[in-house]
Structure 1
């Protein structure tokens, strides 16, 4: 399997492959050397048809690594390294795809069995979607540019209004690898270059290429420059030939002025368009006009400043400076987006446009979104986009009868027959036959129905009417009803409602866990389930009986393990259950099973001594629960697939998020009667991860991956399509149960979590070291470039964080700790208070070396044992440390390395959590905090995050608070973005304020 990566360089997409079959370590010490993981090309893979024939180069790319070699990408799912990543140059064989070829690849590129997209290539797929979106909305302008001395005709994006905000979010979300060939360029420059190239390709892909006309016997090359330029805008070749007498500067200046006008700020005022509906007509179903689009001038920052155009021209309002000029100039700019304005601009004092129902519908669906995106004000009736026709599916379970005709009860499964009926509906109310006939007769895009204006798409309505004529009523299986409800609306009107009884009604209720009768704690379960866990057990059992897969996505700490074990204890055994999870959690499953379900027979299939062949079949047959790891399941998938499993459970199911990996394919290939995915994060970065987990739980329910991407992922992630989001929720809702710890209706007795930022001062020694480090490193950074500069920035960040911890942490001289650090002084106070109150605390640090320094110091200061968990601790030692902390009263303080102990531990004996130094990734810190804030915790949890005031720690914390959610949704968070800052910005973020130093 290959991992596909991409960087943008020289106006083209440089595509390269990382081979997962190559070893994870190397000893190459001199750079730039050939990248040891790089594959030569994509021959023999699903990408071959698109990449074959592309020019080959071997650029030097700056990629994460260390002195011992490059790091493999996260998509390879290898064991994390303890080495700190540093950017280093590597020669990488790459394929050069011009924007047209890149657009083809990016729209075809998906995770496949043989190729998985890296985060960088996935990012460029988002950029390609954005380019298509801009082109489709007309947010492009033509340009005449010089490229290597030649004239070319190009389309360029117009990025204003909402598109500008979207552009900034994309730039913040760009993975560093996307500019590995140009690491000195800001992310925004690389993004604009890529977006411009892909926009040009998008327009050329849809605009037909006309033949140049012959005029007056002249050959095409002798035509005027403007005509040669216009022809080059649509063909595959953007080149514009040069002729004597051409004045490209004049044409380019006109085009640049056009683009500047389109991008010009609207200033304090903007033009606003308001759609006014006609008076209410009589009758149940009617169409009446005219409709009016009124013009007005509105305040940009204060929308309440609203002056109708009629009031301006009559002199009724005269106190708004430049209002008339703003109105006329704005209407002129809007004409390209809303051509119906032409009739209004024929008069000197335009006030409105009068139109019919079709014109009003065209304004609603086409002009209004374009105008709003371009920065104009748009006011629509309250019903616009809300009151719409849709489909309604009604199903009724069939009642079995005995020979005498009396009704009998029978079990229900996916093969059970149900009666169905399809109807058109508006806001849950069925449309009558008479109303339906009238709608078909009118064929109008806007109709007043039952006192409400309704938007109708003629093609969708015709498709829906044809659908109803073919299969309005009848019988189908419950499985067909499920698929129909999920995919209804793909080709016709959207599905608004499912009215079902019996088990299907429970399934589509939206709150199945609350609608179902809770199942009491099973007799064979040692413990008592909480009320929400009993509802969860009922939901799991319900889907299990139907043979449907489930995704239990409860928040971390709500007891997914306990609910799963209760499911095993509650059901009559029809075969063993296979549970697949990370290696770090297998021991936890053993302990929890022994605690809650001691009667279950457990077999652990892992390690060199694991059973094989017939011995494995026998061991599984004699067990109720078989535990194995993802790695073992991938290696032994053929042997595991030969066993008749009752169910397959995947814990931490986000391990399946990349559907094309060998691991995900192997797990999906193991058959079972039902499947269960356990995960607190069903979507970490992008929606196709949800598809991958659903494909494990219920294969085929969401359709092929490409269909899912086009139907849901792109509309929701790229364009914020609420209708697509609602459809996805409807499609996945029956199979996903998600509850949060913070929801008091779920768990009212879980204590509160209080997060506190603890502001610490530096000592004089720390301040001197801090200032010296800043001056020394900034001087080096200002005189460096490329990979060297990026490495220096990251090294500076690390050094400054170490200074903020303690001088001895930076100097590594083994000197005394007491009295030299504001953070240490505050930590000593908190730990002493915790011990005095008879409570316990978890103290996290990202630096194992600092934890090793803190342990003996805190033991001496507190006169108490302090536990210390880091990456070098063996599994047996780890388990003993956890046992001591949870069960013994003496160890009150548990020092933990954030990387080694951030997940997979239950440490509810602590009700204090201290983050001594910041990872600058909120998700990582929250996961670590949840070691204490989870079920079993009986006290309020106080979380303290140490920040040195007036230092880089305070300013980065402020920047994180302002970060947009898109960056986390696409590529997660980290520290790489800091390397993009200029020297001036770095000086500002690193500066030491006077208040940083304690007296």
Structure 2
């Protein structure tokens, strides 16, 4: 279940329609009620700051829009036309909400998945549902016990392979090393001081001073397996080798935080290692583990985890399914834990934050000085209160006070919060606990001026299953054609094994017939479907980047992919502009100007064909390629809208690739053809590799794989 759906479900209750007769789409149901309410909110936003009562209406309308969207999609009785009409009207309501939030940005906090829903909001929600003809039966929550986190109904699972591991290792070796460190230190001057507030204030008074742990110069920048680290990566690994074990790693995106975390675990021998990540990057973690620590097996938990390797050294789980697995994860005996995009746990009261903190406590109970790392690209100086939960995860503080190691550092200053010098000294004490922050511009000499970073994503929903079925169908059709030609040949003309020349000819025939007749499933329709399925994941990743590093450029080939990205940005209240092929020159210039000059416009969504040339977008240094192009030249032209004269930072293009689909093969083909073109061009601007080559090669690979599988 996604975070947004969880927010909605907190207030949902049991909804029963009062009557079974079908409602007319125009005047009945919840949508007209939402439309009236959102117009009132819009009017207040236009007049100035939104009143408290309008803020409540804003939150309730947002929750009901999400609820109704889910209900419409699941409605088995409605036709596809009716569903499309209702979803279109809901999009209209969501757009007005986004416009109101753009005028009063304080409304955005009400859209967060962990935003509190007040009693007045629940009452208003009930009133609006009743006005729409829906009866609500609210379930009474259990009485809360003071000081106790409210119980959340959870569906806990234990995968079979985990049971096998537990049976194979019934006892854990006790770890007595450094047990004295668990004892509370004797404090004197600061024992009765409230210190969390002053610690936060010490960062507010920093006046731009860097927040970065001093780390040793690395003696060796090579990993155990012969890969070369960049200097800033090797510094952190060197700090781990010298004994440092807790890090808030806040490097900007593009500086290799994933690699640093994995290599730190290797240096600390912190295996088994638990990695908690957003859904969009969990496959990438497994891939990076294979690259940087190939001697350690990684496994990724999907859903109930039926297919995981319970004996793996690295276990990757996403926030959305953590509640199902928190029980056995706490008992597995991890010696290290990494939390990626750690700002996701900023609210200590949220369910996922409680699970993360619970797991960290279990690891500390079983292992003295485990490796604990919180990764986030969000600058530390923004909303410093949000980072107290991260400090708690790292074991620096609890909910009320600094814990022994940090308290000892504060005692060593000889100061109290009444002394002005206490604040820079306290800030330094926290930073020395393990805050590491580097920007791309700070380490520009270490990283390429332009690079492409692939982000593999799992399409594990119905759309993903449909795409894989379509690939199998296309492969079957290619195999049938190949077999027909082979069967028609004379015996002496048949080749032993796979006839590579015939494979290529079959692929070319398929490509030519597709050009003449676009009906039926083909490589083009599959790529389009893959792009549509990837769109929410690409948009989610772009939103995370925008939060971390500022302006982001998103490129897509198809209009429906651009639309899907823009809908997600609107739902999250992220201001964005759009550059498309059907725009007038005036509209295009306005879109470019708003992205370049308006600090509130965080993202521009661009057509890969319409915006691939003639634009100057170097105000950003991060590009998200939501869809693959058919040539490296088209991809390069898009990246060059950002990587051009005037760009002061290294540029990173984040290429979203659907794992376990033909998307992966096409990415490999584009990269291989790019190398060939670079060697062949010799200074010429002529494109060596045509898009048709990639299309044929993709089908060659599909057919060859199918023939090999049949021979096994």
| Higher relative strand content | 1
**TM-score, normalised via structure 2 length:** 0.41
- TM-score (ref. length: structure 1): 0.30
Whichever structure has more helix as a proportion of its residues is 2
Instruction: Considering Cα pairs closer than 8 Å and 6+ residues apart, tell me whether 1 or 2 has the greater RCO.
Output: 2
